Amino acid sequence: MSKTVLISGASIAGPSTAFWLNRLGYSTTVVERAPALREGGQAVDFRGEQMAVLRRMGLLEEIRAHQTSMGEQHILDASGKRVASLPASMISGEVEIQRGDLSRVLYEATKDRTEYVFGDWITSLTETGSGVEVTFAHGAPRTVDLVIGADGLHSGVRALAFGPESRFRTEMGYACAGFSAPNHLRLDHTGLIYNVLGRGVTYAAQDPEGPASVGFVFAADGLSYDRKDEDQVKKVIAEVYAGVGWEVPRLLEAMHAASDLYFDELAHVYLPRYTSGRVALVGDAGWGVGPGGGGTGLAMMAAYVLAGELSAAAGDHRAAFPRYEAAVRPAAEAGAKQAKGTGPFLAPRTARGLWLRNQSHRMLTTRMFSGVFDKMTLKAANTLKLKDYGI
């Protein structure tokens, strides 16, 4: 039976995998490139079958204690006038929590049985007949039984074990940015969505006295920038939103002062396999679907399935990994299909597209169509049904 497992990534998928493997008696180590847990980030939500994994972990009540409890999100026109309102169930699911808060909950639930190594990363993987020899940027080499890549869309483990990211990545034609800002509109458990053609802004807050969470989503064809150069990224965003009215000038000022800026292009990662030898991928590392695809909930469900299949196979990864892939892939593909509409929804490129977006959501939020609306938002979340593995 495989006993030592090295996990790359300490955000959501990594600690979730460690949580379940710890219950099976595995010795787990999580290595994270950042010097500490990443704070902040946009809110993530759970709905439908995704709630089952939170209950199985025994963490649902703690997550509810940190939930955002957000209400409606209001769509505004170019003059700032409300034209449609989206129910909390669409944006926030059954429970919503800030990504940083969720990461902390998972860390606290695993830190006593998992070794966490911050400020380091994997530089090579060499599989042998009995394990994987691993080298690191700073730490001493190790030999482990299994390696789990849970290190996000730009996964280093995926690049080492499967090939360069460009081989698997498809751009969706949009980019997104998120950061914290002063809540100068004093929003209280609500949010706003503002648009001009090809550019969208989301502005939400839980507390009129607390910070706001700001998101920019915009059409991005042929952007040229260094993702690791934050000053350059801020310049790109400022240029895209130059001249946009409403509250955008104040939000751009807040962006320049923000210490928690996140930026990336919306993309989908597709791999024909999520495992290779003794290496398995979980979450965005294996099937990055982008915002709107229920990726966080699926990552936590997949961590449970991976551990469950290892348990069912008595630790034999050669039997467990194919079953893990077969169980998770339909849900990953459903999430990817759902996420394709995120960019066009948040930043329609044409006047007709913007009008149709607003009209469709006015219709879908009426009592007559509410059942159709709920079915749409739950479809991807309910694709994967969790089995009882006895863990």
DSSP 189-217: SEEEEEEETTEEEEEEES-TTSEEEEEEE
Location of structure tokens 């040229």: 224
Q: Tell me: pLDDT of 227 over 90.
A: no
Q: pLDDT-derived band of residue 373, with 50, 70 and 90 as boundaries?
A: low
Q: How many other CB atoms are found less than 10 A from the CB of residue 24?
A: 18
Q: What is the pLDDT of residue 231?
A: 93
Count other Cβ atoms within 10 Å, centred on residue 215.
21
* Contact partners, residue 234, CB within 8 Å, separation at least 6: 255, 256, 261
| The pLDDT value given to residue 211 | 93
Lowest mean pLDDT among 192-201, 296-305, 377-386: 377-386
The mean predicted confidence, pLDDT, of the chain is 92
pTM of model > 0.75: yes
- Answer yes or no: is pLDDT of 356 > 70: yes
Amino acid at 78: A
Tokens of 365: 């939020």
- What count of other Cβ atoms lies within 10 Å of the Cβ of residue 302? 30
Sequence length of the chain is: 391
Query: For residue 374, what pLDDT is reported?
Result: 64
387 pLDDT exceeds 60? yes
Q: Is the CB of residue 258 less than 8 Å from the CB of residue 88?
A: no
Instruction: Supply the DSSP string of 148-185, one letter for each residue.
Output: EE---TT-HHHHHHT--GGGTEEEEEEEEEEEEEE-TT
Separation CA 95–CA 77 (nearest Å): 28
Do residues 30 and 171 make contact, with C-beta atoms less than 8 angstroms apart?
A: no
CA distances from 220 to 79, 152, 173, 178, 237 (A): 24, 21, 5, 16, 10
d(CA 275, CA 324): 9
Higher-pLDDT residue of 204 and 342 is: 204
Give the whole-angstrom CA distance, residue 301 versus residue 386.
Answer: 8
Tell me if residue 223 falls in helix, strand or coil: coil
Residue 317 and residue 278 in contact, taking contact as beta carbons nearer than 8 Å: yes
Helix axes 317-339, 295-312, angle to 10 degrees: 160
3-state secondary structure of 123: strand
What is the mean predicted confidence (pLDDT) over 328-349? 89
What is residue 303's three-state secondary structure? Answer: helix
Q: How far apart are the first and last CA of the chain?
A: 16
Which pLDDT band holds residue 147 (cuts at 50, 70, 90)? very high
For residue 1, pLDDT over 60 is answered with no
User: Distance of CA 102 to CAs 22, 297, 344, Å?
Assistant: 19, 11, 28
Residue 162 to residue 159: CA distance in whole angstroms: 6
Question: Are the CB atoms for 299 and 13 separated by under 8 Å?
Answer: yes
